[in-house]
Amino acid sequence: MARLEDFMGRTALITGASSGIGRLLALRIATAGARVGLVSRREPELEALAEEIRAGGGEAIPLVCDVADRQQALTTAKKAVEALGRIDVLVNNAGYGHHRRFLDWDLEDMERVMRVNFLGTLYFTKALLPAMVERGRGWLVFIASAAGRIAPADETAYAASKHAMVGLAGSLSLEVEDAGVHVLTVCPGAIRTPFFDDEALARLPAVARRQMAEPEDLVEAIMDALARGKRELTFPRWIASGYVAQALAPSFFRRQLKKHTVKDD
C-alpha cells in the first residue's frame, strides 16, 4: 500500500483536464505542489487552466491531444515525460458518453465512447507505466464510474467502457503493486459537471438527480484516498451498498435497477 500524502516535487499527468473533474483535480494537485501536465482536445481551455495554475505559483504544461487516437496519445505521453522529466502520477480521467437507449444510439458514437474511455486509458497507461515500474514508484488513478460496477439502463456503451476500465485497473493493481506502483480505481455516481447536460438530466433517475454530488467533494475524496493508500473509491459512499445488494440479492436488485432506470419512451 503506497500512500501519496505529499505532492511536493511530484509530477502528474491528467487527461480530460479542460473541464469538470479533471480541471478541478488538476488545480488541486497543482496547489498541493505537483508540476502538472494537462491533456485535452480543447486548446483554449487548456491554456486558460495552465495560466490559472501558473498565476498561483504552480507549473503546468498544456498538451493538446485526442486520447482516442493511439498515435496522438503515445506521442503526447512522450512529450509529457520530456517536459516534466518523469510522470509520478497518471490520472486517466478523459471521459465521453451519453444517456441513450441502445436501439437509439449511433454505432459510430458508441465506438467513440469505447475509444475515449477505455482505449485512451490503455494508451497512456501502456506508455507511462513501464518507467514507473523501473523506478519502483508511481501512482495510477482510473476515473471510472459506478456504472462500471452497476450497469443501469440508458448507458450501454458508457457502462461497457467503464466496466472495461474497472477490469483493467483491478487486474493491473495485482500485477504491479509489488513493483511499487499503486492503482486507485474511482467509481463516482452522478456528479454535478457538464457531463450531465439537459439530455442526460432528463433521462437520469429522479433519485440520482436529487442526490447528485458536487465535484469539489469528489476531488477531496480522491486526494484523501491517495493519502490513505486506498485501492478503490466509490463516491458518494452510499452507492457501494448497491454492490452488496447486487451480490446478495441479485433478482431484487435487478428489479429495483430496472424500475428506476428504464424509461417509458
- Helix, strand, coil shares of the chain, percent, nearest 5, are 55, 15, 30
Rounded CA gap, 226 and 138, in Å?
11
Indicate the average pLDDT of the chain. 92
> What is the enclosing helix (H) or strand (E) of 207?
helix 206-210
| pLDDT grade for 194, boundaries at 50, 70 and 90 | low
Domain made up of 11-261: CATH architecture: 3-Layer(aba) Sandwich (3.40)
How much is the pLDDT for 196? 62
The single residue of 96, 123, 158, 243 carrying the catalytic annotation is 158
How much is the pLDDT for 195? 65
Cell for 74?
Answer: 503515445
Rounded CA gap, 223 and 229, in Å?
10
- 3-state secondary structure (DSSP) of residue 56: coil
Rounded CA gap, 71 and 114, in Å?
16
> What is the enclosing helix (H) or strand (E) of 64?
strand 60-64
Eight-state DSSP code of residue 20: H
Domain residue ranges in the chain: 11-261
Known catalytic residue at 123: no
Rounded CA gap, 206 and 217, in Å?
21
Per the listing, cell 479542460 goes with 18
Quick one: angle between helices 107-114 and 156-176, nearest 10? 20
Rounded CA gap, 18 and 207, in Å?
29
| pLDDT grade for 20, boundaries at 50, 70 and 90 | very high
Rounded CA gap, 93 and 17, in Å?
8
Eight-state DSSP code of residue 177: G
How much is the pLDDT for 1? 58
How much is the pLDDT for 2? 86
Which residues is 95 bridged to in the sheet? none
Residues 177/139, Cβ–Cβ less than 8 Å? no
| pLDDT grade for 253, boundaries at 50, 70 and 90 | confident
- At 220-252, the pLDDT tens digits run 999 999 999 999 999 998 888 888 888 898 898
Q: What is the DSSP string of 92-125?
A: E-------B-GGGS-HHHHHHHHIIIIIHHHHHH
- At 38-66, the pLDDT tens digits run 999 999 999 999 999 999 999 999 999 99
Amino acid at 56: G
Residue 128 clears pLDDT 70, i.e. is over it: yes
- 3-state secondary structure (DSSP) of residue 216: helix
202 burial type by CB count under 10 A (0-12 exposed, 13-18 middle, 19+ buried)? exposed
pTM for the complete prediction?
Answer: 0.92
Residue 36 clears pLDDT 60, i.e. is over it: yes
